[in-house]
Chain A
Amino acid sequence: MSQSKNKKVRIALFDFADCEGCQLQVTYLNDQLVGLLEHCEIVNFREAISERSDDYDIALVEGSITRKHDEERVKKIRENAKILIAYGSCACIGGVNGLRKKFTQEEAKDIVYKGREFPIDVGEPRPVHEVVKVDYFIYGCPTNNEETIKALKSILIGKGYTPPRYPVCVECKLKENVCLFEKGQVCLGPVTRGGCGAWCTSYGNTCYGCRGLLDKPAQEGQMDILKKNGYTLEELKQKFETYNLCRMMGEQNATEKS
């Protein structure tokens, strides 16, 4: 986006159905946040400031959209913002909120609010782009500050930001990590969108697929790898569900329809 010489770019953060962990990441930016604030100002940030404004250029939207009320609110944000960024996995792919889709609304209500009698609006969890147009995506649960900064700089200078289309393995190998498959663990790295700098796997964790499925996963190849390591598709699916049920159910529906 083009910047006029003196006016600072106004950034607003909003949260929907989520844990607000990605917003918390913003507070961890520390020095970098100070640098950014030389040409930006944050006008909405529930976790850190009390100011509220409807006048902003960039909206960082965190969380999945679930209820009718949320839908209206995010539409309003879309109207106000020149640039809308889906920020974090809940916003980008539905994230863990997607697990709700394993149950009917009634079942879910019953599990969570058992015995309590009050009207509660439970909607279908959706990534933001299923409700309004999203300009850019910053994936991750939580988002990785290095990527957030990279994306913001890139958007501010007018280049925009496209997350990598390659799997987590690319960055994992560059870090010279010992492959987790070699250590007998199920890792979702090969089918998960990279860009996180192989954050989890560099610390000995497996990849949980929080950045969502690749645009073009190699399904056959992936199955081979699983079989070779003694895992089943079910096991992979189960692990993948944690973050990706919105897309998985979506796809299921799409295929059912066709």
Chain B
Amino acid sequence: MTIKQTLKLCFLLLIFSCASSKISKIEGERLTIDENINPKTEIENFIKPYREHVNKDMDNVISYAPETYTKSDGELNTAIGNLMADAVYDEGNPVFYKKTGKYIDFVLLNHGGIRSIISKGNVTTRTAYEVMPFENSVVVAAIKGDKVNEMMTYLANAKRAHPVSRQLQLTITADNEVKSATVHKEPIDVTKTYYVATNDYLYNGGDGMTFFKPNDGLTVLDYKIRNVLIDNFKKTDTLHPVRDNRFIKLNF
């Protein structure tokens, strides 16, 4: 070995001895958390008082559902969606009137905002939390008739059962064009101001709902959608939500 070769080897040795650790092998697996694993006592004991406090409220029976209602049991309107939109109208309208001296014209919510089913049997506070876990609140936007028309076009194109309250009737054609739209059985008047209740998420453009702005004013009711449902359920011994013709599509 020449001196040059020796130096080269020493240099290589130096490199390798200083080199950072290299990954030689990687193993990946997914572990299932199920009843075969015993809960850790310390953690279980820590959760217990929180669980008991929450459950005491959650298991409170506030109504009864004769059937199971899901957001997929109708094409453009569902029993559960109609129930929610009508509850926002029925509970929100007195609050809005008290604040402004005016009445809500109708309600629009979003299909994605129905987060769970209502199961047949006892309806508890937990049901309301499951259906509406988010903290969104009711707001009422004063929008002109042309904005309401924009909303109708949006609904016709969305092809989803976005919940609307019973004061609105929208019929669309097989080609997803607005065939007719009425509020309180009257055609939409572009010069008129409508008071539309929704939630703060949609008001701020959630789900691509851009028609709430610009507007002629906003009233924040400081009333969570979930509390609307709880208050509404408490007043109703047995829920009877139905699918109807408030938002329908023609076959031709």
Are A and B part of the same complex?
A: no
Which residues of B pack against A, CB within 8 Å? none
Which residues of A pack against B, CB within 8 Å? none
